[in-house]
């Protein structure tokens, strides 16, 4: 299965692309820049959706759905917002095709021009706030806590499966509040939900922080983010939560009658994560043998492979294994029992190893005689022989251990690759090596842009609860009161 598979050391980018395709996660489609998410890849996304959806509902949010198309005039109502997304917008101008009079297929019917052009949703703030205007009249209607699961289109010229595609899947939360404090609390709350999900489900340690003004979401007052470090030393933004102030409420005239019987603009947030998380999952844990998946998100947590020469041997294995499978399923452990006779056991071992299945069991006639089973764990590529009598309990504990081991490995990697620097020479050298670089910055857009131009490194965030310390900007030498987190990023 892993033959002719590029190693991370030889070419990390090619390793990633090959892994996505060979592990049956996704493939490029006939539409330039778009992807087909295959069943195995979509199963990972479904597991992510399920966990996140519960977390959203546990914090009081409900799901809704809003149109894919946005009137062009809506986008122009919030100046920063339209400027931020203008270059990525796909525009619908006509609504009908007709036969080509020259007999060359079909053409756009020039008489079917839309009165107002429509933008294919790059994000939904504008259409949602136009809707909220009809839903919010008084303080009794607040807070309004809505999430939607949807697709969006941002016209990308350089694409990579999961990490950057013209169309991708995501969720976007959009909330309305009666006070600034309540909206800010919501933005931080959802940042913490994302952090919790990344660390406890994805086994991905993240840094929570605030984006600089130049990296802020278009139309936001403040953008909070979680940043992960991938195995090649590049950062990846794994989620964002935005405090929108009253910008969109004013743009769409969304007011409410407060308790003092006065009209007031509402306060807003928006927040989202996307199928980019699958890319983060791959690059955080996988290795030169293929995909490595944390048990909490793996479509198949346990693969069981019977080794048999004839139907009689398979029947004896079934008698022992099927009750064990039933016990595992009662524990909500997903199991794949691969008793196909069209592939040899060795081929199956390679397949499940490459697809990152956390635990693989193998059992044959000799194992039945000794009342034992071979247990292989994907993360460490180790095997052990375990008595069948306590196999269910063993697997349950093993899945927890794999989840924790993956997180610790990723955390240790991040710790080893996070460095404080003091001079420009140190900064440049460390950025070339990769990883997170903590450095002083003078707080100006000009310096931030110059550092980006000279090193391709960006300020990933100003970490929350950052330690204040007097220092000098690594580039200009001007005074600085805290370090910020730099890295090259996806």
- pTM given for the model: 0.96
- Looking at residue 9, its pLDDT comes to 96
- Looking at residue 82, its pLDDT comes to 84
- Looking at residue 102, its pLDDT comes to 86
- Looking at residue 207, its pLDDT comes to 98
- Looking at residue 396, its pLDDT comes to 98
3-state class (DSSP) for residue 440: strand
3-state class (DSSP) for residue 195: helix
Q: CATH number of 418-487: 3.30.110.30, 3.40.1160.10, 3.40.630.180, 3.30.365.10?
A: 3.30.110.30
- pLDDT profile of the chain (490 residues), mean per 10: 82 98 97 96 98 98 98 90 91 95 90 97 97 98 98 92 97 98 98 98 98 96 98 98 97 97 98 98 98 98 97 97 98 98 97 98 98 98 97 98 98 98 98 98 98 98 95 98 98
- Looking at residue 107, its pLDDT comes to 94
End-to-end, the C-alpha distance of the chain in Å comes to 28
- Looking at residue 2, its pLDDT comes to 54
What is 302-399's CATH number? Answer: 3.40.50.800
d(CA 371, CA 387): 6
d(CA 190, CA 146): 12
- Looking at residue 46, its pLDDT comes to 98
Tokens 């489900």 belong to 201
Give the residues across from 224 on adjacent strands.
210, 241
Q: Which CATH superfamily is domain 12-71+120-285 in?
A: Bira Bifunctional Protein; Domain 2 (3.30.930.10)
Closest C-alpha among 398, 379, 408 to residue 203: 408
CA atoms within 13 A on the CB side of 220: 26
DSSP symbols for 370-416: HTEEEEEETTTTEEEEEEGGGHHHHHHHHHHHHHHHHHHHHHHHHHH
DSSP classification of residue 214: G
Domain boundaries defined on the chain: 12-71+120-285, 302-399, 418-487
């Amino acid at each position: 299965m892993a033959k002719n598979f590029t190693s991370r050391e030889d070419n990390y980018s090619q390793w990633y692309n090959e892994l996505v395709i060979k592990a049956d996660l996704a493939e490029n489609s006939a539409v330039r820049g778009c992807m087909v998410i295959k069943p195995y890849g979509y199963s990972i996304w479904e597991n992510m959706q399920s966990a996140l959806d519960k977390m959203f509902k546990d914090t009081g949010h409900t799901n809704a759905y809003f149109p894919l198309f946005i009137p062009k005039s809506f986008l122009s109502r919030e100046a920063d917002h339209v400027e931020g997304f203008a270059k990525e917008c796909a525009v619908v101008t006509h609504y009908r095709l007709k036969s080509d009079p020259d007999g060359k297929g079909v053409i756009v019917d020039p008489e079917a021009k839309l009165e107002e052009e429509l933008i294919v949703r790059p994000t939904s703030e504008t259409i949602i706030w136009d809707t909220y205007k009809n839903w919010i009249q008084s303080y009794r209607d607040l807070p309004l806590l809505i999430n939607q699961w949807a697709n969006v289109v941002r016209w990308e010229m350089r694409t990579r499966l999961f990490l950057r595609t013209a169309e991708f899947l995501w969720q976007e939360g959009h909330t309305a509040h009666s006070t600034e404090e309540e909206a800010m609390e919501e933005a931080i709350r959802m940042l913490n939900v994302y952090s919790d999900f990344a660390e406890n489900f994805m086994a991905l340690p993240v840094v929570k922080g605030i984006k600089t003004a130049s990296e802020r979401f278009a139309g936001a007052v403040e953008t909070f983010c979680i940043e992960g470090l991938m195995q090649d030393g590049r950062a990846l933004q794994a989620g964002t939560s935005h405090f929108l102030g009253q910008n969109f409420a004013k743009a769409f005239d969304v007011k409410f009658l407060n308790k003092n019987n006065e009209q007031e603009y509402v306060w807003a947030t928006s927040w989202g994560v996307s199928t980019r998380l699958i890319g983060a999952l791959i690059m955080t844990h996988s290795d030169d043998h293929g995909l490595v998946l944390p048990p909490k998100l793996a479509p198949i947590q346990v693969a069981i492979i019977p080794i048999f020469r004839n139907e009689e041997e398979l029947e004896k294995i079934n008698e022992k294994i099927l009750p064990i499978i039933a016990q595992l399923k009662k524990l909500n452990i997903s199991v794949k029992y691969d008793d196909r006779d069209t592939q040899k056991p060795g081929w199956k071992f390679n397949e499940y190893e490459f697809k990152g299945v956390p635990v693989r069991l193998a059992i044959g006639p000799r194992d039945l005689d000794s009342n034992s089973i071979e247990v292989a764990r994907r993360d460490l590529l180790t095997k052990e022989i375990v008595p069948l009598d306590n196999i269910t309990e063993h697997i349950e504990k093993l899945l927890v251990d794999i989840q924790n081991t993956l997180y610790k490995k990723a955390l240790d990697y991040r710790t080893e690759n996070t460095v404080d620097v003091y001079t420009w020479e140190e900064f440049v050298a460390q950025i070339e090596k990769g990883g997170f670089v903590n450095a002083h910055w003078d707080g100006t857009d000009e310096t931030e842009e110059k550092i980006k131009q000279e090193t391709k490194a960006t300020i990933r965030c100003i970490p929350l609860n950052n330690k204040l310390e007097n220092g000098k900007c690594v580039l200009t030498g001007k005074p600085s009161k805290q370090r910020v987190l730099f890295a090259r990023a996806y």
